Structure 1
Amino acid sequence: MSDVSFVRTEMLPQQAPPATSVGLVGWSRENLFSGPVNSILTILSLIFIYFVISGVLHWAISPTWAATSLGECREMIAAAYGEGAGHKACWGVIRERWLQLMYGFYPPYPVVPSANFGAAPEGAWPAFFRPNLAFVLLVLAVVPVLFSNLPRKMLWITAAFPFLLPWLLWGGTLWTPILVALGFVIGYLVMRFAAPVVGTIAGFILAVAVPLLWWGFAIGPLADAFSSVLPLAIPEVQSRDFGGFMLSITIGVVAIGCSLPLGILLALGRQSNLLILRSICIGFIEFIRGVPLITLLFVASTLLNIFLPPGTNFDIILRVMIMVTLFAAAYMAEVIRGGLAALPKGQYEGADSLGLNYWQAQRLIIMPQALKISIPGIVSTFIGVFKDTTLVSIIGLLDPIGLSNSIRADQAWNGIVWELYGFIAVLFFIFCFSMSRYSMYLERKLQTGHR
C-alpha cells in the first residue's frame, strides 16, 4: 500500500472577496440585515421614512413662488392640482419676505449720509453691503482659527474683526473702534511692564483698571477730536432696525467668541487656591446655571435700567449680548473644569518639575490638553447658545422667530406657519450642523479618544 502525498509548491493567486460581502450589499447585510430582528426594524424604518418623505414632498412641491398672498397661493394650487389637492406649501411668503427674515429692518443703503434709506441713491454701494461685508470678514476671521494649515497672516483679520464688526453694523466714526483696540494694547503694556515691579496680581488689576478708565473717560473726547480733523465715518443705524438672521448671528458670534475665554478664566478661578477668587467664581457659576436664560434676558431688557443712572442709554442689543455671554460662560466653565479634572495629576507635577510658573504651565501643558478633551462639550455649548438666540423674540427683538410672528400678523399671510418655521429651521440647521461636523473633524485630527 503506497501513500502518495501532494505538497503545493506555488501560492494560489489572491481571490476577490465574495460580491455579497463588499460594497453596498456587504454593508447592508452587516448593518441593516444582520439578523431577523434587525431586518424587521430596517424594513419598518424604511416604510416610515418613505411615508415621511413622500408627505413632505407632496406638501413642498407647489407652484406658489410668485404668489403675493395666502389667497393667491390657494388659487394657484387649485388651478394646478384641482380643488382636492390637499394642503400644500405657500412659498410666496419666502420670496416676498426673505430679505426681512435675513436682515430685519436694516436699511439697504446706509452708506451715504444724505441718502434715502428706502431707495438706492445714485452711486450707492450694493444693497446690504455692510452686513454682507461683516459676514465675509467673519468667515475670513474664523477660518485661520479653525484650520491651522492656512497662512498665519490671516490672524490679523481675526484680531481686527471684533472691532470692525460693531463699526460696520452700527456705523459711526472709525476712530471709536481704533481707540477701543488701543485700550487692549495699553492693558497689555501695563501688564508687561508693571507686573515685574508690583507683582502678578497687582499688575493684572492695573492691566484691567487702566483700559477701563481709558474706555470710560478718554475715548469719547478723543474720537470727537480726531473726527473733527479727519472724519472717517459712515451713517449710524439704530439697534431697533436690527433683526432677522443677522441679529441671531451677531448675538451668537459675540456670545460664542467671548464665552470661551471667560469660561476658561472662571474654570481656573474655581480651582484657585485664593478663597475669595474661588468663592466669587463658584457663586457666579452656580447662580447663572441656576437661573433660566429667559429670566436673565428679562433682567437685561427691563430691570437693568432701574439700577443705572437716570438718562443712561444702554443699548438693548448690547445688554442682551452681555447676558447671553455670561450665561454661556458659566456653562463653558463647567465644561472646561471637566477637562481639567480629567487630566492625570502627573501632568501638573510634570509642569512643576520643568520649573514653569502657573500661567506658563496652563498655557503650554494643562490648558491645551483640557481643551482637547473638552471639544465635544465646548461645541455642544456653542450650538446651544446659537439656538438660544431665538429667545430674544420674547423680549421684543425681531429675530427670525419674532419676524415670523410679525409676518403672520399681516392679513395677506395670516395662516402661514410651516413655510416660515421651515425656512428658519433650515438656516439654523446649516450653521449648527456645520459646527457639529467641524467638531468631529477636530476630534479625528487631534485623536481625542486616544491617549
Structure 2
Amino acid sequence: MKYELQPTLPPPANTIGAIGWARKHLFNGPLNSIATVLLAWLAFTILAPVVQWVLIDANWTGTARESCTDGGACWVFIGQRIDQFLYGFYPDSETWRLDLAFFLLLGLILWLAIPKLPAKGIAALITLVIYPVIAFFLLTGGSFGLEAVDTHQWGGLSLTLVLAVVGMVASLPIGVLLALGRQSDMPIVKSLSVVYIEIWRGVPLITVLFMASVMLPLFFPEGMTFDKLLRALIGITMFQSAYMAEVVRGGLQAIPKGQYEAADALGLGYWQKMILIILPQALKMMIPGIVNTFIALFKDTSLVLIIGLFDLLAIVQAATNDPKWIGYATEGYVFVAFVFWIFCFSMSRYSQHLEKRLHTGHGNRA
C-alpha cells in the first residue's frame, strides 16, 4: 500500500497575527482577560482627557496669549519662548555657536554608536580630546574672532546638556579609579578611596552644590574669582564619581577569580591586567548600572537652580512668572518633562541595544 505525504496545514487563524498575539498575551485566561479589560478601561478613562487637552483642543499657532482658548493646552507659549528655553540668555546673534557645538557632538556620538562606521578609535580620540577644546572656544568665545560670552548668560537646554555631558564624561574615569582604589591591597589608597566615596555618598547633591557655590569661594585668596558654572561642574563630578565608583566596584566583584589568576599567570602587570582583561569584562556587565547613574545625573542637573544657574527647568519657571503668560505653567512643565523623557529614554534604549550587541549575558559561564 502506497502512502503519500499530505501538505502541511496552515495554523488556525486565531493563533497567528494580531488575534493570536492578543490571545497569547492579553486573553490567555480568565484573570488575564479581566485584568486586560480593567486596565484598558482605566487607560481610556485617564488618557482620553489628557489627549483631548494636549492635542485635540490645544492651541498651536499665534503670537500672544489671546491666541489661546480655554479647554486646551496653549503651546503658543512654548513656541514664543522656545529660543529662550533652548539657549537661555545667550546672545541671539551667537546661538549658531551652540548649535554647531551640539551638532558636532551628535555627529561624534553617531560615529561611535553606529557599528558599521569605521575608525572608532579615531572617533573616540576626537570626542575625548579634540572636541572638548573646540566646544570650549565655541561656547565661551573671546578668541578666533568670536565674541566672549560669560557663563551667567548660558541657560536653558544648552546649559542642561553642558552640565550632563561634562558630568558624565568626567565622573566615569574618576569612578573607575576610585573603584580600583577601593579594591587595592595598599591600605592608604584603599582608605582614602573609601573615605571619599562614603563622604560624597552621604550628602545630598543639593548640599554639594550649595557648598560649591557659597562656601568654596571663602577658601580662596582675596580677589580670586572662580566661575559659578565651573564650581557646579566640579561639585556634580565629584558627587557622581562616588556613585559611579560603587557601580564599577560591583562589576569588578562579579568577575570570576579565575580571570584574575589567568592574568597573573600570563605575567601581566597590575595595569595591564586591569585594562586588558578585567575592566573590559566588568564594564560590559556594568552597562545598566552606568546608564542608570547617567540618567540620574541628567535629571539632577535641575538642582543647579538653587545656585542661580538657569537650566531648562529654571528658565521655564522664570518664563511662567512673566505677567504676559501667567497661568500657563502646566504647559511649561509638560514641555520640560517631555524633553527630559526624550533624553532619558534614548539613553535607556541605547544601553539595551549596547547590551545585546556586546553579549553581556554571562549565564553560560562555567
TM beyond 0.5: yes
Report how far residue 332 of structure 1 moved.
0.7
Displacement of 1:8: 6.6
Task: Verify the 8 A CA contact 1:383 1:435 in the aligned structure 2.
Answer: yes
State the alpha-carbon separation in 2 of the partners of residues 30 and 439 from structure 1. 29
The Cα offsets for residues 51-71 of structure 1, whole Å up to 9 and x where unpaired, read as: 22211122123453344444x
Identify the match of residue 59 of structure 2 among 64, 81, 87: 64
Q: Closer, same or farther in 2 for the Cα pair 1:162/1:368, shift >3 Å?
A: same
When structure 1 is superposed on structure 2, of 20-29 and 249-258 the one drifting more is 20-29
Could you tell me how far apart the structure 2 residues matched to 1:63 and 1:13 are?
Answer: 57
| Larger-Rg structure | 1
State the match for 2:99 in structure 1. Answer: 132
Structure 1: 5+ residue runs without aligned partners? 1-6, 79-86, 111-127, 174-231
Counterparts of 1:358 and 1:146, CA distance in 2:
30
Determine the structure 1 residue equivalent to 2:126.
157
Q: Do the aligned residues in 2 keep the contact of 1:58 with 1:88 (CA within 8 Å)?
A: yes
Shift of residue 377, structure 1, vs aligned partner? 0.4
Alignment of 1:253-292 (within 5 A): 253-292=165-204
TM-score computed with the length of structure 2 as normaliser: 0.94
Contact 1:328/1:385 (8 A) holds in 2 = yes
Residue equivalent to 1:12: 6
After superposition, the C-alpha distances for 1:322-358 in whole angstroms (9 at most, x for unaligned) are 1111111111110010010011100000000111111
Comparing both chains, which one has the higher relative contact order based on Cα–Cα distances under 8 Å and sequence gaps of 6 or more? 2
Structure 2: distance between partners of 1:155 and 1:289: 30
Note if contact 2:317-2:329 (Cα within 8 Å) is conserved in structure 1.
no
Residues of 2 paired with 1:138 and 1:248: CA distance?
15
Cα distance between partner residues in 2 of 1:144 and 1:260 = 20
Q: Hey, what does 2:73 align to over in structure 1?
A: 89
C-alpha distance in 2, partners of 1:449/1:154? Answer: 27
SS in 2 for 1:77: coil
- 1:424 partner amino acid: V
Partner residue in 2 for 1:380 = 292
Aligned-pair Cα RMSD in Å: 1.6
| Alignment partner, residue 408 of structure 1 | 320
Match of residue 77, structure 1, among 64, 69, 74:
69
Structure 1 residue 394: Cα displacement = 2.0
Provide closer, same or farther for how the CA distance between residues 302 and 49 of structure 1 changes in structure 2, counting only shifts above 3 A.
same
Local SS of the residue matching 1:14? coil
1:310-389 matches, cutoff 5 A: 310-389=222-301
1:204-262: per-residue Cα shift (whole Å, max 9, x none)? xxxxxxxxxxxxxxxxxxxxxxxxxxxx3411101111000000000000001111111
The residue that corresponds to 1:305 in the other structure is 217
Matched, 1:26 2:10: no
Deviation string 1:392-444 (CA, Å, 9 cap, x unpaired) is 11221111111122111111111112211111111111111111011110111
Report the Cα offset of residue 146 of structure 1. 3.0
Task: Please give the TM-score of this superposition, normalised by the length of structure 1.
Answer: 0.77
Match for 2:47 among 53, 70, 75?
53
CA distance in 1, matches of 2:72, 2:14: 43
Report if the CA contact (8 A) 1:32-1:38 is conserved: yes
Tell me how far apart the structure 2 counterparts of residues 156 and 283 of structure 1 sit (CA, whole Å): 33
Cα deviation, 1:28-80, whole Å, max 9, x if unaligned, reads 1111111111111111111122122211122123453344444x14xx526xx
- Count of aligned pairs between the two proteins: 359
**Structure 2 counterpart of 1:251, one-letter code:** L
Q: Distance in 2 between matches of 1:67 and 1:415?
A: 17
Distance, in Å, in 2 between the alignment partners of 1:8 and 1:340 is 66
Whether 2:355 is the aligned partner of 1:447: answer no
